[in-house]
Amino acid sequence: MKKTEIIILTGFLGSGKTTLLKQCLQTELANNRKIAVVMNEIGKISIDSNEVSKDVRLKELLNGCVCCTMKDQLEIQLLSLVQNNELDCIYIETTGVANTIDVIDACTSAQTVESLVIKGVLSTVDASRWLTKNELSPTIRYLLIQQISYSNLLFINRLQNLSTDEKEHVLHEIKSINPNIIIENTNINEFLSNLSFSETTIDHEKFDVNTSLKIKTYTHEQNHSYDKQQFEEFLRNAPSNLFRMKGYVSFKGDPLLYNVQYSNGLLTYEKELMKLPKRLVCIGENIDQKLLEIELNKLEVSE
């Protein structure tokens, strides 16, 4: 029986996993491969699943991490995907705080080993986040290093924001942890065909995301439009423990809906044409959910 390939996508919150996934899926579909995606989100709702094309079978695992609390559910989902579909490959997009080794573990159980084979572990790194990693807590720093060391291909994003010296410094540090680096603008087709994962490098260190990290999520529903300037001001002054914010919101005086992406101090908007609930998912280390709720409510203005 032909085994279904698994490609695991890891990388810290907002480092570019979904963006890389979209590129991989385009390439896979162009090559007429039958693909499914398992998307894991630490929050109760998924924003990123809207990004996956309708031609791809999608399973969502929400409100937990496949590397710990949802390990069994990942296995069940993988088995149901391989039983019901003649798939060539399943992509697993992990939460930004997943410990790679435990995700690999969950994909290589006694039940799945006959039908699945890990083809690769791809990791994304945000170069600016890496540069300022000493401002993060030791557990988050440890997690960043783990995600890099257990991947067999790394994509370093946002290098263009760094000076030449900073770039060299970041690349040197990352290469010393894992020499299998690929920098942005890579030919996805070429790297997918050369991908080959070797399990021999795995060292089973234990790190439980649940107990080791104080990552919290908060989902905020928007009732009235925000004042755009105040919203941007709020994010400019956002606490450093708020790592990620994403979702759909509207702004006063503008009838459109916007897909908001905030990570590592950077804010981007894109017009959203679908009618989606107005809500923001906030992710951070020990974030004060109550305070965020109050602050976000204050940004609402009557039309």
Ligand X SMILES: Nc1nc2c(ncn2[C@@H]2O[C@H](COP(=O)(O)OP(=O)(O)OP(=O)(O)O)[C@@H](O)[C@H]2O)c(=O)[nH]1
The span of 13-21, 168-176, 229-237, 248-256 binding ligand X (CB under 6 A) equals 13-21
Residues 165-184 that bind ligand X (CB under 6 A): 184
**Cα–Cα distance between 193 and 83 in angstroms, integer?**
25
228 contributes a contact to ligand X by CB under 6 A: no
Instruction: Find the shortest distance in angstroms from Cβ 181 to ligand X.
Output: 14
| Count of positions on this chain that bind ligand X (CB under 6 A) | 19
Q: Tabulate helix, strand, coil % of the chain (nearest 5).
A: 35, 25, 35
**Cα–Cα distance between 303 and 297 in angstroms, integer?**
14
Q: Which of 6, 14, 140, 238 contacts ligand X by CB under 6 A?
A: 14
Instruction: Find the shortest distance in angstroms from Cβ 106 to ligand X.
Output: 18
Residues 69-88 that bind ligand X (CB under 6 A): none
Residues 6+ apart with CB under 8 A from 217: 42, 43, 44, 281, 282, 283
In the block, tokens 């007429």 appear at: 32
**Cα–Cα distance between 61 and 83 in angstroms, integer?**
18
Q: Which of 158, 217, 250, 287 contacts ligand X by CB under 6 A?
A: 158
Q: Which of 4, 7, 16, 99 contacts ligand X by CB under 6 A?
A: 16
99 contributes a contact to ligand X by CB under 6 A: no
Instruction: Find the shortest distance in angstroms from Cβ 83 to ligand X.
Output: 28
Residues 247-286 that bind ligand X (CB under 6 A): 261, 263, 268
The span of 6-14, 27-35, 71-79, 82-90 binding ligand X (CB under 6 A) equals 6-14
What are the tokens at 160? 């263009």
Nearer to ligand X, 184 or 295 (CB): 184
The 3-class secondary structure across 239-287, one letter per residue, is: CCCEEEEEEEEEECCCCCEEEEEEECCEEEEEEECCCCCCEEEEEEECC
Nearer to ligand X, 110 or 274 (CB): 274
